[in-house]
Chains A and B, each alone.
Chain A
Amino acid sequence: MYSFDIQRPTTVADAVAALATDEALPLGGGQTLIPTLKQRLSAPSVLVSLSGIAEMKGVCTGDDGALCIGGGTTHATVAREAASSYPALASLAGHIGDPAVRNRGTIGGSVANNDPSACYPAAVLASGATVVTNTRSIAADDYFQGMFATALNEGEIITEVRFPVPEKAAYMKFEQPASRFALVGVFVAKYAEGVRVAVTGASEDGVFRWTEAEAALSSNFSADAVPAAPSGDGMISDLHGSGAYRAHLVAVMTKRAVAAAG
């Protein structure tokens, strides 16, 4: 790793102030950023650890019934505390990485990084969640802007993610067996207004909504209604699977998710 200073603010305001420094980077749980720093792919002058900010941790239900998760909440905490209110989301959180990683990794860190194979972006997009930062609220449809790209500005911190709770939902992922990242993961959420289907791991543009499946499932919520697999064009192709294979998995995982949602 290159040299850097580390700061541990205890309030969002202090973290924002610390991030105003040139070349400062926020540090969530570090389960992606620390390996990146070790590979010298990132060279911050200051690392602002968000793990000491109590106001950014926890799971609660808002006045509008939405599930509100603090940006600094670990996957393990979401798996435990969202289990009764939003089981599909809790199950997703409980299957990220491994137990030790889940005790450190945070929802804010995952959503800010927007890895094209991460699980959380699928839940955020399929739930039509709202990403709340220290300055504004961003709708999920506007937030994700391609692989590792988001609407966040420099120094902007995700303080909370608000999930409208669906009538039915499930997340199914086909794991890359070594990394446990999603080779393809599909989150299906059924709301009174319609069904949303978000796919991670597959597209070169990062997480996306499979609108064809949404339309079909909104009129008939059953695995048989899932359309034929989308085209493999623009799908990630690597040693773990071709674009066509991933496209095939999109339909398979969607069917399994609909079946699991009931």
Chain B
Amino acid sequence: MTKVTMTVNGKTVSGEVKGNTLLTEFLREDLRLTGTHVGCDTSQCGACVVHVNGEAVKSCTMFAAEADGAEVTTIEGMANADGSLNVIQQAFQDYHGLQCGFCTPGMVMSAAALLKENPKPTEAEVRDHLEGNICRCTGYHNIVRAIMAASGQDVPAVAAE
């Protein structure tokens, strides 16, 4: 067992992990932060995306021990300080950017990473950025609309080609 200490959503946390403990297991099973989802467990679907030191990563494809000393942000850390939904989360609600909701945590974390780097993405850039996030309901169009809205831009009215 290895001792790891990291900052998760602003709080310092420690725990004992095995060498093969994935970051996603540490978050969900040890810290009980079950907002980070595990869809495929093969780094395809992106439901497990969290931010490590400000960068979006697939937490099912990183060991907890590798996050020792890191700053981790999960979907639980995305709301505003008063507990209200942040601008991306609110846009997902306003534009019905989810159907079953399973992919939503990863979609929101990927969207946040995109908007930090590129505050006014084009629709094509949004779609390109989401290539590693799979929505099993295939509800991409409203997800893209929500992200465009969250960036303060006009929302495309018609379905994608």
Q: Who on chain B is nearest to A179 by CB?
A: B44
A99 an interface residue at 8 Å Cβ cutoff?
yes
Q: Give the docked Cα–Cα distance between A8 and B113 (Å).
A: 27
Count of chain B residues with a beta carbon within 8 Å of a chain A beta carbon: 27
Q: Are the CB atoms of B61 and A30 closer together than 8 Å?
A: yes
Q: How far is the CB of A95 from chain B (nearest CB, A)?
A: 10
A49 contacts B by Cβ under 8 Å: yes
Chain A residues numbered 227-255 whose CB sits less than 8 Å from any CB in chain B? none
* Complex Cα–Cα for A37 and B43 (A): 13
A1 touches B20 (CB 8 A): yes
Asked if A4 and B56 sit within 8 Å, CB to CB, the answer is no
Q: Are A47 and B19 in contact (CB under 8 A)?
A: yes
| Known contacts A97-B132, A100-B49, A180-B131, A34 near B19 by CB under 8 Å | no
The answer to whether A101 and B66 have CB atoms under 8 Å apart is no
Q: Is A98 an interface residue (CB 8 A)?
A: yes
Interface residues of B in 2-22 (CB under 8 A from A): 2, 18-20, 22
- Given known A101-B58, A101-B132, A104-B57, contact A51–B43 (CB-CB < 8 A): no
Contacts of B66 in A (CB 8 A): 6, 8, 30, 49, 51-52
B65 within 8 Å of A (CB atoms)? yes
Judging by beta carbons under 8 Å apart, are A104 and B20 in contact?
no
The CB with the most chain B CB atoms within 10 A, among A34, A47, A98, is that of: A98
Question: Is A76's beta carbon under 8 Å from chain B?
Answer: yes
Given contacts A98-B131, A98-B132, contact A2 B57 (CB under 8 A): no
Complex-state Cα separation, A100 to B56, whole angstroms: 5
Q: Are A34's CB and B57's CB within 8 A?
A: no
* Cβ A38 vs Cβ B41 within 8 A: yes
Q: Decide: A3 and B49 in contact? CB cutoff 8 A.
A: no
CB-CB under 8 A from A30, the residues of chain B are: 61-63, 66
List the A residue with the shortest CB-CB distance to B64: A6
- What is the number of residues of chain A that contact chain B, defined by CB distance less than 8 Å? 28
The complex places the Cα of A6 from the Cα of B2 at a distance, in Å, of 8
A62–B62 Cα distance when bound, in Å, is 32
Query: A103: CB under 8 A from chain B?
Result: yes
Which residue of chain A has its CB nearest to the CB of B1? A5
List, in ascending order, chain B residues with CB within 8 A of A99's CB: 56, 110, 113-114, 129, 131-132
A2→B56 contact, CB < 8 A? no
Please tell me if B42 contacts chain A, counting CB pairs below 8 Å: yes
Q: Is A35 an interface residue (CB 8 A)?
A: yes
Q: Is A31 in contact with chain B by the CB < 8 A criterion?
A: yes
Contacts A2-B20, A31-B61, A51-B66 given; does A100 touch B132 at CB 8 Å:
yes
Contact A103/B46 with A6-B63, A8-B65, A98-B132 known, Cβ cut-off 8 Å: no
CB under 8 Å from chain B, chain A span 30-69: 30-31, 34-35, 37-38, 46-47, 49, 51-52
Give every chain A residue within 8 A of B61 (Cβ-Cβ). Answer: 30-31, 34-35, 101, 104
Q: How distant is the Cα of A38 from the Cα of B61 in the complex, in angstroms?
A: 10
- A104-B62 in contact given A6-B2, A99-B113 (Cβ < 8 Å): yes
With a cutoff of 8 Å between Cβ atoms, the chain A residues found around residue B129 in the complex are 99
A99 to B19, CA, bound (A): 26
What's the least CB distance linking B20 to chain A, in Å? Answer: 4
B55 within 8 A of A: yes
Please give me the residue from chain B that is nearest to A44 by CB atom.
Answer: B19
Q: Mark B53-87, 1 if CB is under 8 A from A, else 0.
A: 00111100111011010000000000000000000
Question: Contacts A8-B65, A103-B56 known; A3 to B113 CB distance under 8 Å?
Answer: no
- Distance in angstroms between the alpha carbons of A158 and B20 in the assembled complex: 24
Task: Show 7 A/B contacts (Cβ-Cβ < 8 Å), sorted by A.
Answer: A3-B20, A5-B2, A35-B42, A35-B61, A98-B131, A99-B56, A101-B132
Which positions in A face B, CB cutoff 8 Å? 1-6, 8, 27, 30-31, 34-35, 37-38, 46-47, 49, 51-52, 76, 97-101, 103-104, 180
